[in-house]
Structure 1
Amino acid sequence: MAHTKRTRPAHRAGRTDRTLGSRQLAALLPDPAEARPAYRHLAQAISALILDGRIALHVRLPAERELATALNTSRATVTAVYDLLRESGYAHSRQGSGTWTALPEGRAPRGVARLLGPHDTAIDLARAAPNLSRQTLTDALARVSPQLAEHVDTPGYHPYGLPELRAAIAERFTRRGLATVPEQILVTSGAQHALTLVLGLLARPGDRIMVENPSYPNALEAIRRARLRTVPVPVTDTGWDTGTIEAALRHAAPRLAYLIPDFHNPTGCLMPESQRARTLRAAQRSGTWLVIDETLTELALDVPAPPPFACHAAPGGTGQVIVTGSMSKTHWAGLRIGWLRAPARLVTELAGQRVATDMGGSVLDQLLALDLLDRSEELLPQRLEQSRRQRAALTSALAEHLPQWTWHLPPGGLSLWVDLGEPVAAALAERALDYGVRIEGGAYFATDPGIFEQRLRIPYTTPPETLREAVHRMAATLADGLTSSSTGRRPHWIA
């Protein structure tokens, strides 16, 4: 099957693509009868969806009468909802054109806020990102400085990536069992950048994409912004159900499928080899492009690192498999180095897509990445041993202070997917800030709102003593109760 993007239909006149339908919004909101006053309950839900990115900015909200009908509530309730959203800065009105979503002054979208990190002394468990030792970085900088000087006489633009780095990444794939040449590699500014390029080239608004539920939040956000229709398949504590995946591919025939089979984020599950082969065959039958996220592949703590997913394809069957990877989880996210492996022709097309917004990555960062990759046999075992110690500290602290919580020990990756036993994750995450812990509730990893409220993703990427203190603080948070009135503050969505 040809892998170039399908011809897009001519753009339709009007602003229908900037309007949120009443049924679409109602499906995202809780039942107005669940809490009183209903208008505050609904306004809080809409503002949270705007911060999460599940409702885009600068889109028109449904007419009051239409939304009232969809929610089976009064128009007066919806009027009060919109009034409160305008007062708190989450909406504004244009005369004669309705009510439009907005962001209050001083607030950042949730994804941006998470990446900015805390500006206080809170323990940050919202990000599963390890640090790089200062000595390792200093030594690498000293080694690459002479090489950087050699590049000063060149323009410095490498839309495909630095040739020697492409060759090194290709050689790593070959060593792992998947023969690869440099022409099949595109160096990107992280795995998220690679995914965004793929979505922009191979999909159009309205196309279906199969995704795991739960999944990596930033990937889900990229998919929402591309206006793709998700086809969720569940990932439980015991992993994937192959029959469900095959049925989704057969019946929905999605254009793309985004999977994290290696130490899945957030569950930590590792997909068995038999499931990989069946998934590849099913995707081939449905004509679906598989986008395999290998960001966590090398973080194998209790098992050997798995070979590339595409190794399980029949001969000649890897033509519609795209693999993305990154140094963010194995080394340091500050390098902003990722890559994708795809058919050479597709790599050429993706490079063309890239230069419209990004003419090439930093030469210095790529030289540093090359140096660190060359030293993987020295650095990676240290990283794995550090992760094992931190994981042990976290599980020990949880068993001591929060024995009612349960989890399956992941064989790799960077986090635990913890079951709290009751749907209090969002309340706990909000209240824990008062105790100096920043963490994300499970709903943030869901394809749809209202699920995984009994789950927390707890990364073990900070020192053992910090993890023990974080667990102690979360236990204190629960012991003191989770009622919002105890904080003595207005909810953050009104601030």
Structure 2
Amino acid sequence: MSAGQLARLVEVPQDARPYYRALASAVRDRILDGRLPVRVRLPAERQLAEALGVSRTTVTSAYDRLRGQGYLESRQGAGSWTALPDPSACADNPWASADDGGLLPLHAAAPPASRFLDEALAHAGAGYHRFTLGMGYDPIGLPELRAAVAARYTARGLATRPDQIIVTTGAQQAIHLLMTLHAGAGDPVLLESPTYPHVIDLARLRGARIVPVGVPADGRHLDLLISAARQSGARLAYLIPDFQNPTGHLMSADDRAALVAAARRHDLTVIVDETWTELAIDDLDQPPPTAVFDTDGRVVSVGSASKLWWGGLRIGWIRASAALVRRLAVLRASVDIASALFEQLVVARLFDRIEETRAERRRALAASRAALVDVLRRELPDWSFRVPGGGGSLWIRLGAPIATPLSEAAAAAGVRLAPGPWFGVDGTLEGHLRLPFTQPPDVLVDAVRRIAASRGAAGRSPRASLIPAL
């Protein structure tokens, strides 16, 4: 791109102050809205300065700022070209919480996109035309994606065929389909407490009777779960054995085996949410999938691309018996017939980079977890928590039932929080707070400092809107 072309494209007013910041912001905005493509070589600093009628120092400062933000890459002798920053390391994201007043989004445990996403998008785009001669949708899912998911289960020690996989529009739809199939009005459904908030909403939507089973601070007490199943007569349970959301607990192999044995005795179907399974941070002896211990189809596994690669892909899956997959395909046809083909192609490609992605996530989450733990211990030493070996959040014990007023005060200070009652039934868990470590370290440090500064204002802030936690 020539200097004249770029000068016309950015249109920075001459009276903008400081000018270099306005120039850098304009270039960044053009990259983000697509008018300035990625990997385009920009004019030399001297040429652009002449075209804009400013000093070369001004353009140099703007280019330096863009390089620091990750929107410009340079090499000696080769010039500079546009780029997109690594989202796992860059806090400068103008789209984050754009509809939430610009608050720091600590209500959602959602990592940014993997750096492998760009290549997968390009690969999917290059091959997309191959599918235009057909219908373009399959209620069970793209065969190559189902094969990739099945191969991953097999690699994890659970032999799986592609006909045991159905692709869904995110894990949320997967859970919705299973709940619709297995739970009706008045039916008891076992849920951990705390647990994933949208599952509580879904059980209520179905009119089910929620049977909460507590998850103590020292981990699950399996006898509580088995006792609740026996006494309630529940025929369906929803559990998160791997880095439970929000507590981060990891169920042992022995407990998984005992759980499945109990499910067999009490005629219980267990929905196992494996959304966080691939996100171990520490070197752990991670147990095998819960369905390894299943011999009669009582364990139905749900997975997702959202935490490992990116939530915007909206691709999930269910692993079940081939017969149940066919029933689910008929049921989901009344909702959306099939998941988007392009996203399925992207995720199928990403499975080729799964180990590299896990290593990338491990590095980023470890750094963010360390930063969050350190700043909490310095700024809020009276709060208690355990550090999980994986997943994406800390489950904070506040020492007093103040989660809701604290969240309201934090919102006034620019931080959106997920108070404990979001994760419980009937207003419980007011003494807890979930803090995710899926944001960059500097965002987490800034957020905790704001929380600490606003804690005294709890109860005086305006009501915070109830935005669902992820």
What TM bracket, shorter-length normalisation? 0.7 to 0.9
Cα shift at 1:436:
0.5
Correspondence list, 1:264-413, <5 A = 264-302=244-282, 303-313=284-294, 317-413=295-391
Cα shift at 1:121:
2.4
- Give the conservation status (yes or no) of the 8 Å contact 2:116–2:353: no
Inter-partner Cα distance in structure 1 for 2:270 and 2:100: 39
AA matched with 1:290 = V
AA matched with 1:417 = W
1:95-135 per-position Cα deviation (integer Å, ceiling 9, x unaligned):
xxxxxxxxxxxxxxxxxxxx9764322111000001114x5
1:32 paired residue number: none
Of residues 436, 443, 467, the one that matches 2:421 is 443
Inter-partner Cα distance in structure 2 for 1:264 and 1:351: 28
1:248 paired residue number: 228
- Give the conservation status (yes or no) of the 8 Å contact 2:236–2:268: yes
Inter-partner Cα distance in structure 2 for 1:442 and 1:368: 35
2:454 paired residue number: 477
Q: Structure 2-normalised TM-score?
A: 0.76
What's the % identity of the aligned pairs? 43
Distance 1:386 1:178, change over 3 A: same
1:230-258 per-position Cα deviation (integer Å, ceiling 9, x unaligned):
11111012111111111112222212000
1:111 paired residue number: none
AA matched with 1:336 = R
1:264-315 per-position Cα deviation (integer Å, ceiling 9, x unaligned):
00000011111111111111111111100000011111214432111134xx
- Give the conservation status (yes or no) of the 8 Å contact 1:213–1:235: yes
- Give the conservation status (yes or no) of the 8 Å contact 1:250–1:282: no
Inter-partner Cα distance in structure 2 for 1:195 and 1:232: 17
SS in 2 for 1:284: helix
Unaligned segments of structure 1, at least 5 residues: 1-114
1:202 paired residue number: 182
Cα shift at 1:199:
1.1
AA matched with 1:280 = V
Distance 1:433 1:300, change over 3 A: same
SS in 2 for 1:299: coil
SS in 2 for 1:257: strand
SS in 2 for 1:239: coil
1:96 paired residue number: none
- Give the conservation status (yes or no) of the 8 Å contact 1:330–1:383: yes
Inter-partner Cα distance in structure 2 for 1:297 and 1:117: 29
- Give the conservation status (yes or no) of the 8 Å contact 1:210–1:258: yes
SS in 2 for 1:198: helix
Of residues 167, 177, 185, the one that matches 1:187 is 167
SS in 1 for 2:394: strand
- Give the conservation status (yes or no) of the 8 Å contact 2:253–2:288: no
Cα shift at 1:321:
1.1
AA matched with 1:311 = V
Q: Give the count of matched residue pairs.
A: 370
- Give the conservation status (yes or no) of the 8 Å contact 1:406–1:418: yes
Structure 1 moving runs of 4+ over 3 Å: 115-119, 489-493
Inter-partner Cα distance in structure 1 for 2:140 and 2:358: 26
1:47-85 per-position Cα deviation (integer Å, ceiling 9, x unaligned):
xxxxxxxxxxxxxxxxxxxxxxxxxxxxxxxxxxxxxxx
2:445 paired residue number: 468
Unaligned segments of structure 2, at least 5 residues: 1-95
SS in 1 for 2:237: strand
Inter-partner Cα distance in structure 2 for 1:341 and 1:387: 27
Of residues 82, 98, 122, the one that matches 1:142 is 122
AA matched with 2:254 = S
AA matched with 2:308 = T
1:122 paired residue number: 103
- Give the conservation status (yes or no) of the 8 Å contact 1:310–1:318: no
Cα shift at 1:491:
8.2
Cα shift at 1:218:
0.7
2:73 paired residue number: none
Inter-partner Cα distance in structure 2 for 1:446 and 1:456: 11
Question: Which structure has the larger Rg over C-alpha atoms?
Answer: 2
1:65 paired residue number: none
Structure 1 stretch displaced more, 116-125 or 253-262: 116-125
Distance 1:210 1:119, change over 3 A: closer
Cα shift at 1:426:
0.3
